[in-house]
Amino acid sequence: MRLYDHKTMAVRYAVASNVHTPPSHLMGKCTDWRDGTVMLGALKNPSVPADFLDEIARDPWPYGVLAALAQNPSLETNTVTYLWHLNDPYLRRNCAAHPAAEEWMLEVAMNDPDPYVRAGAARNPNAPTGFTEQASRGTDPDARLCAATNPTLRDDLLSNLRHDDSNLIAKIADYTCRDRLIARIPELQDNREAQDQLLDQQWWVLTEDDPEVILALSMYGAA
């Protein structure tokens, strides 16, 4: 039995959204209404050819289908622009966050009356750093959440979000801070206690040779 025909919905979705699933299988699933779960997973899969995704975007699909399509990182700029001009609020939110969004679109999104569109722009890695930084300090929790997932957010501002009033934002910021810390100091990979100790400091300036790092590693059993 092919896994994308598995009786379990979660399995079918996982296969459809897996980048290693052959595009030839996915392309048929992108437009197959018989299994909406597989269809939505396939629409988000970056291994689906961009020109095929553009064809789907220009067909008269319901906005729910197009909203899933708009999350596909393989979309090209012309497709993102087309979806933006459909003027659906959910599409605009996803388009504002898309890396292929044009500069003018980001400028509009950053000043959009819809707070979710502005939050989408805060998640976009190509957004001006000043805008993302402002979003991380703002009162809108959705914007702070999106800023926390933006890879361009400064380390110190991301670290501040570890103490956010929103438990979800704090958890995401903590997870991302740990990833960034480990990228700087790979020896911390499996040493959560040492990570905990260093994350309460200005970890973004630390190196593996700093006394704080050596002490944390020695205290928690690293060789």
Percentage of residues of the chain with pLDDT beyond 70 = 92
Residue pointed to by tokens 């979800």: 168
pLDDT digits (tens, 9 = 90+) for 37-63: 777 888 888 888 898 889 888 888 777
Residue 1: pLDDT above 70? no
- Residue 37 structure tokens: 């779960």
- The whole-number pLDDT of residue 223 equals 47
Cα–chain center distance at 186: 23
Residue 3: pLDDT above 60? no
pLDDT digits (tens, 9 = 90+) for 184-195: 999 999 999 999
Q: What does the domain layout of the chain look like in residue ranges?
A: 1-42, 49-141, 154-223
Backbone angles phi, psi at 206, to 5 degrees: -80, 150
Q: Which of 29-33, 72-76, 142-146, 187-191 has the lowest mean pLDDT?
A: 29-33
Distance CA 216, CA 7 (A): 48
First to last CA, the chain: 47
Residue 133, H or E segment: helix 129-137
The CA-based angle 17-33-91, given to 5 degrees, is: 65
- The whole-number pLDDT of residue 207 equals 94
pTM of the predicted structure, to 2 decimals = 0.80
What residue type is 112 in one-letter code?
D
- The mean pLDDT value for 18-29 works out to 78
Mean pLDDT of the chain: 89
